[in-house]
Structures are given as C-alpha cells and as structure tokens.
Amino acid sequence: MSFSDIFKSSFLESVTEFSAIDTLIGMVFALVIGMFIFMIYKKTCSGVMYSTGFGMSLIGLSLVTTLVIMAVTSNVVLSLGMVGALSIVRFRSAIKEPMEIVFLFWALAVGIVIGAGMIPLAVIGSVIIGLILVLFVSKKVQHTPYILIINCMDERAEGNAVGLISQAVDKYIVKSKTVNTAGIELTVEVRVKDAATNFVNQIQQIGGVTGATLVAYNGDYMA
C-alpha cells in the first residue's frame, strides 16, 4: 500500500460529483424566490401577530431544501441515507394559522423543484401562487369584526340593547348568554363597517345596562 492509498477515500472522490456553478445558481434562485414568498406572506398575513421569524424561516427552508435535493439527486446512495436521517426529525412548533401551512409547503416545493433543476417551473409557479394569494386577500370583505360583551339587569334592557345593535351594525350573532343573580351577560359577535364604534356609547346609556365592552376579534366570516 502506497502513501497515496492511505488517503484515498470514496468520500473525497465524491466531492467532485457536483457542479459548483449549478449549486450557486440554484441557491441564488432559491434565495430570490424565498424572499418573494416572504413578501407575499408579509402582505397577506392576517393573523393576530405578524411573525418575522416565521417569514425568515420560509427563506431558510427554501435554501435548505434546495441544498438537500441537490445532494440527493447527485447520489443514489446518499438519497437512501437522507430518507433515513430525515425520518427521525420531529417538528414541535405549533401552526397558529392555516395559511402558514400553505407557505411552508410552498417553500418546500420551491426547494424541491429548484433542487431537481426545474428552475423555470419554480419561478412561474411561484408567480402564479403569489398573484392568486394577493388577489384573494384584496377581495376580502372590509368589515371590522368585534366581540361585544353587554351586562344587563333584566330582559327588558337586553331586548333594548339587541334592538340597538341590529340597527347599528351590518351583522350580529349572539355567541353566548349567561344568566345569574347579578343579571344577564350577553356576548355578541358583530361586524362593524369603517370601524364605527359609537353605538357602544348608546348601549351604555340604555336603562338597565350596567356595562358594555367592545374588543377586537380576529376571525373568519362567511360572506
């Protein structure tokens, strides 16, 4: 065995099996499309709190997935080992909004497609998906949702409050009603146009109404 045979390794020989130019091009496109996904997420985010960390993770997910798919497609043996390695990965982060699943799969799909060498498909598909999401968000009904909590002393005050609500808001739904010795607590889901909340002051002035509280509610509504 010669001195060169000691350092000869199939692992070192496999280093030359990939193209540095192709890798750089793929990572650049993954970065650009990942940033595009991040901007669409930022524009269409309708959750309670916008998460910058989740948006940045979309960019990272596109890059990492692209790198993994490039490695898998260049070596069949590596692909089998990669399947086993990724099968033990467990994600513990909770998904707060259903739309977050869409963006996660979008970033994964972009990484897979770019890693497979189909860059035009990733670009065209991402543009179409982004336009559709922005279009649907812009078509949402612009009514501010609120939850109204009213404390009444008797049924008469309750009836007067509900009558005023029906005239002041576009739509309302009684969500819950609690009756005890202190009176009646009514929880109503209302849709207010142009954030007009002056009707709460009028409800408070109704005889028998001891309190009225209006809180913002981030929910989805049927048209």
Domain boundaries, the chain: 3-138, 144-216
Amino acid sitting at position 209:
V
Region for residue 214 given its phi and psi (left: phi exceeds 0; alpha: psi -120 to 50; beta: otherwise): beta
Averaged over 86-111, what is the pLDDT?
Answer: 75
- pLDDT digits 0-9 by tens, 10-20: 555 555 566 78
Could you say which of 3.30.43.10, 3.30.70.260, 3.20.20.70, 2.40.30.10 is the CATH number of the domain covering 144-216? Answer: 3.30.70.260
Structure confidence at residue 171 (pLDDT) = 84
Q: What is the 3-state secondary structure (H, E, C) of the chain?
A: CCHHHHCCCHHHHHHHHCCHHHHHHHHHHHHHHHHHHHHHHHHHCCCCCCCHHHHHHHHHHHHHHHHHHHHHHHCHHHHHHHHHHHCCCCCCCCCCCHHHHHHHHHHHHHHHHHHCCCHHHHHHHHHHHHHHHHHHHHCCCCCEEEEEEEEECCHHHHHHHHHHHHHHCCEEEEEEEEEECCEEEEEEEEEEHHHCCCHHHHHHCCCCEEEEEEEECCCCCCC
Question: What is this structure's pTM?
Answer: 0.60
Question: What percent of the chain clears pLDDT 70, i.e. is strictly above it?
Answer: 72
pLDDT score of 122 more than 70: yes
Question: Confidence band (pLDDT; 50, 70, 90) for 114?
Answer: very high
